[in-house]
Amino acid sequence: MNGQAFTESELMSDLPKKKFTGRCRLFVGNLPNEVKEQELKEMFSPHGDIAECYLSGKGFAFLRLDTRAHAESAKEAIDGRIIHGRPIRVRFAVHGAALRVKELSPTVSNEMLYHAFAHFGEVERAVHIVDEKGRPTGEGIVEFERKPSANEAISAIKDRVFLLTTGPKPLVVEVLEPRDEDDGLAERMITRNAQLQKERELGPRFPQPNTFEFVYGMKWKELYDNERRRREGLESDLKEERKRLEADMELAYQDYQAQMLREDLQRRQQELERLEAARRSRMSGMSGPPSGMPQNSFNSGMSAAPSSDFGANMYGAPPPNVMNPMAFGGMGVPPPQMGGPPNGSGNYGAPPQGGPRGGGNVMEGVQRLLQIFKNDDRPGGMGGGGGPPPGAFGGYGGSPAFGMPPPGAAMPQFGRQPNGPNDYPPEKRRR
C-alpha cells in the first residue's frame, strides 16, 4: 500500500476461479429432527462436491458446494422436497464476509478492485456493478474468504483515507446487506396468524371517489410525492456540494503542485550555491602560499629588496655594478673570491643554490671588501692609486677566465708584494 500503480499484465490477467466460496454455501431449513448428516450429504452429492456439511440439530443445516452453478442446481432440485413428511427449504446462505464499496471511480475495474482489497486478506470475488447499459454505477461488492479480513478492511478504511486512483476521493465501505432478489417471499414462508387473515379479507380493487379508502389513499399519495420531491431536492443539493468540492479540490491541487515546484526550485538553488561556495574555497586554497608558510611571510618575502644602488635584488644577488671592473672608480682591483666557474659561463645574476639570501648580508660584504681595498698600500692598490696590473681580470693577454690563473698555476694571493712566491712573473704582467 505504497501508492505503486498496477501493471498492465496484472490487470489484464484473468482472475483465479475459486471453488467452495461463500457464494456456494446453502442454507437448508425446516428439517425434521431425525435427519442425519449422512442422509443430507447423499441428498446433495449428486449435484456437486461437498466441502462443508453442518447439521445443527435444530431443524437447519449448512452445506458448501464446489461451484455456484452446482449450488444453484441443488437449490432448484431440492427446495420444497418432502423429507419425513416435511417440506424443506433451500436458500443461499448469507455471506458474512461481503462488503459493499461506494464512491468508486469509473476507471476502477473488477481486477483493480480485486488486487486493491487483496491487501487485507484473500478475496473470493470483486465486482464493480454496472447498469443495464454497461455504465459503472460507482458501487461494488468485495467478498473475502474469512470474516476477520472483512472486519480489518472496514476498520482501516473507516479510520484512514483509502484511495484507488490519482483523485483524492476516498472509498466508503460497509457490510453488504443481503437481499434475496431471486426467490423473494414464497407463500409457504409466511407465518399463518390472525393478522394474515385480517389483511386478506379483501382482494385487489380501485376504491370509489369520496369514499374513506379513496380519501386517505390520496393523502398517502401526497405524502409520497412530498417525500420524493424532498429527496430529489436533497440529492440535488448534495450533488451541487459535490461539484463545488471537486472544483475547490482542482484549484487546491494546482496550488499544491505550484508550491511543490517552488520548493523544488528553492532546494536546487541552495544546492547550486553550496557547490559554488565549495568551488571558490578550493580555488582560494590553490592560489595561496604553500602549506605551512604563513601568508604574511610569503607576501613580505616577495617585496624585501633594498633600494640602494649597492643592494641586492629579490634573490639576494649583488647589483650589476659589483661585477663591473670599473665600478670602483677605474682602480681595477678585482674583488677577492668573486670569480665564476672555470669556463666563465656562470649566471652571476641568479640566486645561489642555497635559496635566496637577504640584501643586508651582501651590503655588509661589499662594504667590508671596499674597506680592505682602501687599506691596501701596495702599488696599484686601491689605497695607493693606479690601476690593476695587466691581465689581472683576464683582459688583453690574460687568461680567458675571469680572474682565474692559468691551468696548473697556484691561486694568486691578493694583498702580497710583487715577485712573491705566488705572484706572476713580471714579463707576463707586462704582457
CATH of the domain at 165: 3.30.70.330
Please indicate, yes or no, whether residues 102 and 116 belong to a single structural domain of this protein. Answer: yes
Q: Note whether 85 and 103 are same-domain residues.
A: no
Instruction: Assess if residue 203 is contained within a domain.
Output: no
On whether residue 397 sits in a domain, the answer given is: no
The answer as to whether 411 is a domain residue is no
Looking at the structure, tell me whether residues 158 and 103 fall in a common domain.
Answer: yes
226 shares its domain with 271? yes
User: Under 8 Å CB-to-CB from 80, ≥6 apart: which residues?
Assistant: 87, 88, 89, 188
| Cell numbers linked to 83 | 423429507
Residue 386 CA to residue 136 CA, distance in Å, equals 128
Nearest to 153 by CA among 108, 112, 123: 123
Give the Å distances, CA to CA, from 62 to 22, 415, 429: 11, 140, 146
Would you give per-residue pLDDT tens digits along the chain (431 residues)? 677 888 888 788 878 888 899 899 999 998 998 899 999 999 999 999 998 899 988 889 999 999 999 999 999 999 989 988 888 999 999 998 999 999 999 999 999 999 999 999 999 999 999 999 999 999 999 999 999 999 999 999 998 999 998 888 899 999 998 887 777 887 877 888 888 888 888 889 899 999 999 999 999 999 999 999 999 999 999 999 999 998 998 899 899 999 999 999 999 999 999 999 999 999 888 765 555 555 555 454 444 444 444 444 444 445 545 444 444 444 444 555 444 444 444 444 444 444 444 455 677 777 787 777 777 655 555 544 444 554 444 444 444 444 455 555 555 554 445 555 555 565 655 54
Cell numbers for 265, please give them: 526550485
Instruction: List, in sequence order, every residue forming a beta bridge with 53; answer none if it has no partner.
Output: 63
DSSP-derived secondary structure letter, 379? T
Is 333 a member of any domain?
Answer: yes
Domain that holds residue 270: 208-284
In a domain, residue 180? The reply is: no
Give Rg (Cα) of the chain. 60
Q: Which residues of 87-117 are buried (b: 16+ CB within 10 A; e: fewer)?
A: ebbbbbbebebbbebeebbeebbbbbbbbbb
CA neighbor of 318 nearest in space, from 371, 358, 354: 358
Q: Which among 92, 117, 140 is the end of a domain? A: 92
4 inside domain: no
Instruction: Specify whether 259 is located in the same domain as 227.
Output: yes
Which secondary structure element, helix H or strand E, spans residue 86, and what is its range?
strand 86-87
Instruction: Give dist(CA 302, CA 406) in Å, integer.
Output: 41
β-strands 25-29, 89-92 pairing: antiparallel
**Count of domains in the chain?**
4
* Cell numbers that stand for 36 in this block: 442425519
Task: Please indicate, yes or no, whether residues 104 and 65 belong to a single structural domain of this protein.
Answer: no
Calpha distance 171→174 (Å, rounded): 10
